[in-house]
A and B are shown apart, each in its own frame.
Chain A
Amino acid sequence: MQGKWINRLLLMPATAWFLVMLVLPLVVVAIFSFGERGAAGGYVPAFTLDQYLNLPARFTAFKNTLLLAPAGTLAALLIAYPLAYFLAVRASPKWKTILLVMVIVPFWTSILIRTYAWIFILGGRGIPTLLEFIGIEGVRLINTPFAVLVGIVYGYLPLMVFPIYVSLEKLDKRLLEASADLGSPPLRTFRQVTLPLSIPGIATGCMLVFILLMGEFLIPALLGGGKVFFIGNALVDLFLQSRNWAYGSAVAATLVIIMLVTVTLYMKLVARVGEQREDVSIL
């Protein structure tokens, strides 16, 4: 009996946090999304589907998010995997720590400042000027989807590197020798042993990056220059500038639903792969 009360007591803060910070706002958003915009902005209670019917007006924001978030996740994965592999498998123990710290160092500075730096790198006096030196003219990088992609890959790379690094680090290197011993050249060994055994790390990294990218607004705002905007930017605009809370809520609710569906499907997929591989936790 006593243990039960202690459990409840210990779970209280988390439950309170969960209710006040997650459930309550979601309920508010859901209610608002069926309401109307007041004359001076804000929210007027009503029950209408107008806001949802109006969603196509923000089609571009949805399109950009749903294209660039997966693309950014994929690009981050492609860049992070070789890096994590090098750190976990190839780097000497002496360098490993230094290199790992270097992956984290950017986090010591605000993402805002680091993204500002990219404005200059990609802007007129940055890379395009350098390209002019070798005769390639008229390249515009800033305020393009590419610039946003570069920005998000840069910003979220460490979140992808670490889970993959961890899963490669705990990979038993003797398995690679066993594979070679059984007649498999290095590339095949990578495909047949290393890659399958690092799937948990890949899954975690992709999940982390993808979820955060779906809600991203800072990087598209700075590097997209109002031309490449995400749902996050639409929400900032709707809630803070045009004060259309009802419409904003409908957009937010739609984003939440899209996320729920994607993440559920994704978890199912990972679980199906992981079904044959509880092993990984045993390792």
Chain B
Amino acid sequence: MSQPSDVEFVNVTKRFGDIVAVDHVSLSVERGAFFSFLGPSGCGKTTSLRMIAGFDQPTEGDVRLSGESVVGTPPYKRPVNMVFQHYALFPHLNVGDNIGYGLRQRTPQPPRAEIEKQVSETLELVRLSGYENRRIWELSGGQQQRVALARALINHPTVLLLDEPLAALDRKLRREMQIELQTLQREVGITFILVTHDQEEALSMSDTICIMHDGRIVQTGSPTQLYDEPINRYVADFVGKSNFFEGKVVEADGQGARIETPAGRTFAGRNPRDAASLQAGAAAVLAVRPEIIFVGSPGAGAPYDADVEAPAVIRNRIFLGEQTEYLVEAEGLGEVLVRAPKHAETQTGGFNPGDQVVIGWQAAAALALEDA
């Protein structure tokens, strides 16, 4: 945290009548970072973004931009710009006038030639050179997206806010734009703050992700941290896929805990957080990512020393290309999702629904988490 922070929330609360949209949130976004708010709808992520933009004012607490409080400052006086969810491009203006809109609001207004020059440069940046005179409705969704980006970036904001910017695009285009956004962010060096409900989007682009739930921050960290060391079931469930086996803590120490399921099996798991959160007797879950579980023929032996093994029956097989997803019914565990990589499939020859198999995993790779 040697970098100065561009955006800071100090104990921010936002209420709409009786509804608490954002509940005592404190955070700090480093200069030049790609920061994401991730969570389901209604978790407070959009309200947080709108408080940075100035469309909403906090009920309590302080919002700071580059160290200065901006509470009460209207949106048109803030050095931030936003890319809106459905772009909100001005339909009565052409592409060039949309992009130059921000420059034309300045006092004194830059000369016409200067605006035109910057518009054409920004269009080049988003790879839409020569589109100045196009009408908005003539553009495809992806092109509109880029115009919206250009319209914000041309103002060289301190912070660029992106509200579900890729939600309206199809899957393939979304992948492309994710890469493009990331490249663009490195190029312009501006702090990007993204709001999304799409974990894949957040994971692939951000330096830091803030996971929100019911107006509160659940966990903030790098994508790897959130994936490998989720602090509770909510995060593990939201970021990537996981199998959860519910139970009670039998014993816990500094590193992890042992959890006993109602079926009477006991599993060990690491606890990424201070194990103090897991007390003996408390409800907890064992979270096991589908890709760390192996699936093999009975008697063929595990590919590594598995701490946990269970006989199972294949229920369903989904071929995903680079990997295959199995839904199996395991003895004492119930339904378990397993992902077998391509090379493992080549070795075992794959399985079909009804096949008897063995599944297993290493205790060190499983997580013992708070059931929240």
Q: Which of A178, A278, A279 has its CB near the most chain B CB atoms (within 10 A)? A: A178
Q: Which residues on A sit within 8 Å (CB–CB) of B75?
A: 177, 180-181
A174 contacts the other chain (Cβ, under 8 Å)? yes
B319 contacts the other chain (Cβ, under 8 Å)? no
B86 contacts the other chain (Cβ, under 8 Å)? yes
CA–CA, A193 and B88, complex, Å: 12
Shortest Cβ distance from B125 into chain A, in angstroms? Answer: 17
Shortest Cβ distance from A85 into chain B, in angstroms? Answer: 17
B90 touches A178 (CB 8 A): yes
Q: Which residues on A sit within 8 Å (CB–CB) of B102?
A: 182-183
B88 touches A183 (CB 8 A): no
B81 touches A172 (CB 8 A): no
A147 contacts the other chain (Cβ, under 8 Å)? no
A280 contacts the other chain (Cβ, under 8 Å)? yes
A197 contacts the other chain (Cβ, under 8 Å)? yes
Q: Place the interface of chain B in its size category.
A: 20 to 34
CA–CA, A129 and B77, complex, Å: 52
Chain B residue nearest in CB terms to A273: B92
A256-283 contacts to B, CB under 8 A, are 276-280, 282-283
Q: Which residues on B sit within 8 Å (CB–CB) of A184?
A: 76, 101, 105
Q: Which residues on A sit within 8 Å (CB–CB) of B135?
A: 276, 278-279
B34-90 contacts to A, CB under 8 A, are 53-55, 74-77, 80-82, 84, 86, 88-90
With contacts A278-B137, A279-B136 known, is A181 near B90, CB below 8 A?
no
Q: How many residues of A contact B (CB 8 A)?
A: 24
CA–CA, A178 and B55, complex, Å: 10
Shortest Cβ distance from B294 into chain A, in angstroms? Answer: 50
B74 touches A182 (CB 8 A): no
Chain B residue nearest in CB terms to A184: B105
CA–CA, A193 and B92, complex, Å: 8
Shortest Cβ distance from B140 into chain A, in angstroms? Answer: 14
Q: Which residues on A sit within 8 Å (CB–CB) of B82?
A: 177-178, 181
CA–CA, A196 and B93, complex, Å: 10
A104 contacts the other chain (Cβ, under 8 Å)? no
A-B contact pairs, 23 of them (CB 8 A): A175-B90, A177-B75, A177-B82, A177-B88, A180-B76, A181-B152, A182-B76, A182-B81, A182-B105, A182-B152, A183-B102, A183-B105, A184-B76, A184-B105, A192-B101, A193-B92, A197-B92, A276-B94, A276-B135, A277-B92, A278-B137, A279-B136, A280-B92
Beyond A178-B84, A278-B137, 15 additional contacts (C-beta under 8 Å) are A172-B88, A177-B88, A181-B53, A181-B81, A182-B76, A182-B152, A183-B77, A183-B105, A185-B76, A188-B105, A197-B91, A276-B135, A279-B91, A282-B91, A283-B91
